[in-house]
Copies of this chain bind each other. A is one copy, B any other.
């Protein structure tokens, strides 16, 4: 892995652990094993490096989700697989956490990939639910867009509850709860 690469990976890790405001160029360099001059040779500054890191994380998140959404099975099975996939729950969502960072929100360029990723996630899930409903797997009364927003919110909020509690338990409960509610919507009508 060359230096530029190590700098991006270092930034990704720190943005996840400490956010943008809480991450200094020096910390990035030390974690990457790169010097001051090296970082400013490859990137114009902290925002430039953060942009590269955020874009990569967003792309990865989307790819991993799409893999599960396009797998075989019913809509509910695929949503369940997505919600149950392995996650570093106590670290939270590397994209969602950025919405709490004042400097990310103040910079349109840094903010864009965050908004686009979560928008895409809701839309993709809504499409999946609509298909399931069309095949009679889900009640006709179920609203795909609203339910998709609820599912993504349950995930993002589950991370918040887990971090607050210092335990994965509330996350697991929230996921089990939303799947329980969804189960009552099985079958058409």
Chain A interfacial positions (CB closer than 8 Å to B): 17-19, 21-22, 92, 96-97, 99-103, 105, 111, 114-115, 117-119, 122, 139, 141-143, 145-158, 160-161, 163-166, 170-171, 173-174, 176-178, 180-182, 184-185
Contact = CB atoms under 8 A, between A and B. Distances in A.
A146 B99 CA distance: 26
What is the predominant secondary structure among interface residues of chain A facing chain B? helix
A86 to B, nearest CB: 19
Contact of A157 (B155, B180, B182): B155
Given A158-B157, A185-B184, A146 B103 contact: no
A156 B147 contact: no
A109 to B, nearest CB: 14
A143 B177 contact: yes
A174 B153 contact: yes
B17 A161 contact: no
A147 to B, nearest CB: 5
B160 A17 contact: no
Contacts of A18: 21, 102
A147 B100 contact: no
